Structure 1
Amino acid sequence: MRRMMALLLLLGFVLNTAAFAQTAVDKNGALTIAGGKIVNKNGVPPQLRGISLSWSLWAGQKYYNPAVVNWLATDFKATIIRASMGVQPYGGYLQQPDLQKQLIVSVVDEAIKQGIYVLIDWHDHNGHLHIPQSKAFFAEMAKKYKGVPNVIYEIWNEPERISWDTVKNYAMQIIPEIRKYDPDNLIIVGSPKWDQDVDVAAASPIKGFKNIAYSFHFYATEPSHQDGLRAKADKAIKMGLPLMVTEWGVGEASGDGYFDMEKNKKWMAWVEQNKLSWVNWNVTDKRETTALLQAGAPAAGGWLINQLTPAGFYIREQLRLLNK
């Protein structure tokens, strides 16, 4: 009897350990669209929460390495990260495609290894002017990562003051390039005015392809990003548009400005209420409100608390609390 009890206790320990060791992708599997929502393998919203790397240019470029991805997954407890490949200005993908692809692949491969989701982000404000380059890039990524459930394609970071027809036309050219090689993985489409006009997209969504969602961006302290912007997103959600918050910051839309905790709490309550997945901007040591790192923070992760900015401390705390 004692031996039997010992075996049962051991079995329970092993099972509990295995459950604890499950990664975000183990738990959720391939993401799909159902009932106007992004859902996991069990048909429920996974509510992923994580962090965006900065533009793969300038100060943020040094953080595009496996060690940082490992640290974000293990210490920050991020379940999704975003690789924001700078297309412009000089030094981005248009001038240095091989370097930029190498940076993105190093991040994506480590995210897959860590069992978390990763957005391959065409970080461009003028995607409609770079259609041939975007098609070639996403075709290559889709060939490489077809069927890998971790990978999400974000095909245009932030269209600026451009019509929805222009954004939609761009998407209708890029999506087929991905679908030639990867028929199922989630694709995220942008919307006009820096991913704020999601209600406009909801009135005329993309048809003919499965597993298409839309990005929604906000900056929690920006005066114009308050009740009115939430109302636009509420309208889109009510109309059945599947949303992911692929970028948001604790400060203002410039990346700088004031960090208002009450406004951040209000946005976080809204996101949680709607069970939306989100990615916070951004991993860099630039002197800005939304930067997560203090100047000179190590390029290989392992950051101490005093190497985090107020934004970095807050986001780490939120991720460790919500992604338990």
Structure 2
Amino acid sequence: MRAPHPSLRGGVAVTALSGVLLLLLSLVPTGSARAAAAPRAAAATPVSANGQLKVCGTKLCNSRGNPVQLRGMSTHGTQWYPHCLTSGSLNALADDWKADVLRVSTYVQEDGYETDPQHFTDLANSLIRQATDRGLYVIVDWHMLTPGDPHANLSRARQFFTDIANRNKDRNNILYEIANEPSGVSWSRIKSYAEQIIPTIRALDPDAPVLVGTRAWSSFGVSEGGTEAEVVNNPVRASNIMYTFHFYASSHRDEYLATLSRAADRLPVFVTEFGTQNYAGEGADDFAMSQRYLDLMAAKKISWVNWNFSDDHRSGAVFKTGTCDRSGPWTGTAPLKPAGVWIRERIRTPDAFPAA
């Protein structure tokens, strides 16, 4: 999806006709010389290639109405791992990994947003700007985790999304994820929350897609005995929205895979978080099961984001522990854990891993 960046700029060439003519040519270049001097067109980035995204039917589409599949990475909690999000690491994500999207995870509790709203809003805005500068799409993730009822943070969510949308409403690369992993509550309660927060965003940023968390840790209810039917039969009353699904391949097996497949045939779905390990993002990698998910998502053009772009000690963090403290290196496979090597390859060269 990303073209290589040009390494050279055009130069002016002149012919030595005479001393006077050479001087005149150097002072007043011809049209062809001026054309040669112009820099080459900037390399295509995901955003320059696709523009403002929108939901069309069950797909995420670009500005021309063509379905697209975004692939990228999620940050870990920005309260814990901001030092993993440097100019160098973000350059690597865009240019070495060739990612399309960065998910910026602002935890609400767990020493996050509620402790210093202004700081975490500023940090999110800084990461949005840096990702935008690199031509990436950005998922603004309101990472509510505990408590699992999104209404518990309704007033905070209104403030956060008002502040973020005010700052970024003129960008064409933003997606808003309004509730990370609701749990322990009914779908109707999650839907009620969504129908209050979406108008807050739409009043400021009417064009950006909104991503709605589903019941039972964004599993369409499967982790608490439900199915996607509760959303199919009672969708959020809003347009240009998608529903999120999360999975961890070592823990979430065929029932979850089948749920994702069925849901994607009826609803617009975005996998905003997944891992190759167990549901805690740790333990052994199950790359075979993970590839089954990736094959399905490629076939149905379901966009995805992997957890996570940090050097946390767990196996799901892509960098080896200590990489962020040392400020890299960031490129290539040397600084990566096995899960990092695997996911980088599938972001860089997805066509090299065809469905079995």
- Asked if these proteins are the same fold (TM beyond 0.5), I'd say yes
Unpaired runs of 5+ residues, structure 1, are 1-10
User: 1:71, 1:302 within 8 Å by CA — same for their partners in 2?
Assistant: no
Aligned to 1:233: 260
Q: Which of 85, 104, 108 is matched with 1:87 structurally?
A: 108
1:209-248 alignment runs, 5 A limit: 209-222=238-251, 225-239=252-266, 241-248=267-274
User: 2:59, 2:268 within 8 Å by CA — same for their partners in 1?
Assistant: yes
State yes or no: 1:307 paired with 2:329.
no
Aligned to 2:275: 249
User: 1:195, 1:215 within 8 Å by CA — same for their partners in 2?
Assistant: yes
Query: In structure 2, how many angstroms separate the alpha carbons of the residues matched to 1:236 and 1:101?
Result: 33
Name the CA shift for 1:301/1:109 in 2 (closer, same or farther; >3 Å). Answer: farther
Aligned to 1:205: 235
**Superposed displacement of residue 177, structure 1:** 0.7
Unpaired runs of 5+ residues, structure 2, are 1-34, 221-227
Query: In structure 2, how many angstroms separate the alpha carbons of the residues matched to 1:133 and 1:323?
Result: 42
Query: In structure 1, how many angstroms separate the alpha carbons of the residues matched to 2:125 and 2:351?
Result: 25
Aligned to 1:103: 123
State yes or no: 1:22 paired with 2:22.
no
Q: Give the number of the structure with larger relative contact order, counting CA–CA contacts within 8 Å between residues 6 or more apart.
A: 1
Across the two proteins, how many residue pairs are aligned to each other?
A: 306
State yes or no: 1:319 paired with 2:347.
yes
Question: Secondary structure, in 3 states, of the residue corresponding to 1:306?
Answer: coil
User: 1:283, 1:293 within 8 Å by CA — same for their partners in 2?
Assistant: yes
**Superposed displacement of residue 279, structure 1:** 0.5
**Superposed displacement of residue 74, structure 1:** 1.2
Name the CA shift for 1:262/1:29 in 2 (closer, same or farther; >3 Å). Answer: same
User: 2:89, 2:330 within 8 Å by CA — same for their partners in 1?
Assistant: no
Aligned to 1:48: 70
User: 1:64, 1:104 within 8 Å by CA — same for their partners in 2?
Assistant: no
Query: In structure 2, how many angstroms separate the alpha carbons of the residues matched to 1:317 and 1:234?
Result: 24
Q: Which of 234, 237, 258 is matched with 2:284 structurally?
A: 258
State yes or no: 1:130 paired with 2:153.
yes
Q: TM-score, normalised by structure 2?
A: 0.81
Name the CA shift for 1:252/1:288 in 2 (closer, same or farther; >3 Å). Answer: same
User: 1:139, 1:181 within 8 Å by CA — same for their partners in 2?
Assistant: yes
Query: In structure 2, how many angstroms separate the alpha carbons of the residues matched to 1:301 and 1:74?
Result: 15
Query: In structure 2, how many angstroms separate the alpha carbons of the residues matched to 1:283 and 1:199?
Result: 33
Q: Which of 53, 75, 81 is matched with 1:31 structurally?
A: 53
Aligned to 2:205: 182
Aligned to 2:99: 78
Q: TM-score, normalised by structure 1?
A: 0.89
State the identity as a percent.
37
Between Structure 1 and Structure 2, which shows a larger proportion of helix residues? 1
Query: In structure 2, how many angstroms separate the alpha carbons of the residues matched to 1:275 and 1:234?
Result: 11
**Which segment drifts farther, 301-310 or 179-188?**
301-310
User: 1:159, 1:192 within 8 Å by CA — same for their partners in 2?
Assistant: yes
Query: In structure 2, what residue type is equivalent to 1:181?
Result: L
1:131-150 alignment runs, 5 A limit: 131-150=154-173
**Superposed displacement of residue 54, structure 1:** 0.4
Whichever of the two has the greater Rg, that structure is 2
Query: In structure 1, how many angstroms separate the alpha carbons of the residues matched to 2:351 and 2:68?
Result: 11
Query: In structure 2, what residue type is equivalent to 1:237?
Result: A
